[in-house]
Amino acid sequence: MLSALTLILSCQLAGELVTRFLGLPVPGPVAGMVLLFGLLAIKGSVPEDVGSVADSLLRHLALLFVPAGVGVMAHMGLLGQDWLPISVALVGSTLATIAVTALVMNRLARPAPEGNAESENG
């Protein structure tokens, strides 16, 4: 259990270091998650202890949003000054996410054409 948590946190640390030293415009934990995914893809499966630690973290995910909420409250004055660009960015990114999700789902949910070779052989 401790080794699995160490692996997850080490990947997050490595992601932080990579993004800081290379100046990447990606949050460190995201880069760490990509690194962890790569390691698990190379292994070919998710070890049981890593899965159980990840499930534990996901069960308590709401607690991880407390620091972000405190940060928002600490910068409320700045948010009040720039409310219009922030609102436009939030609405625009939400609409773009919905549109991309709809396009991907539409593409993936289409049935295969009837004359397709796979449907004849399968």
What does the alpha-carbon distance between residue 46 and residue 37 come to, in Å, rounded to a whole number? 9
pLDDT (tens digit, 9 = 90+) per residue, 72-99?
888 888 888 999 999 999 999 999 999 9
Rg (CA), the chain: 21
The burial of 8, by beta-carbon neighbours within 10 Å (0-12 exposed, 13-18 middle, 19 or more buried), is given as middle
pLDDT (tens digit, 9 = 90+) per residue, 28-63?
999 999 999 999 999 999 999 999 999 998 898 888
- The contacts of residue 2 (CB under 8 Å, 6+ apart) are none
Q: How confident is the model at residue 115 (pLDDT cuts 50, 70, 90)?
A: low
What does the alpha-carbon distance between residue 95 and residue 64 come to, in Å, rounded to a whole number? 26
Q: How confident is the model at residue 121 (pLDDT cuts 50, 70, 90)?
A: low
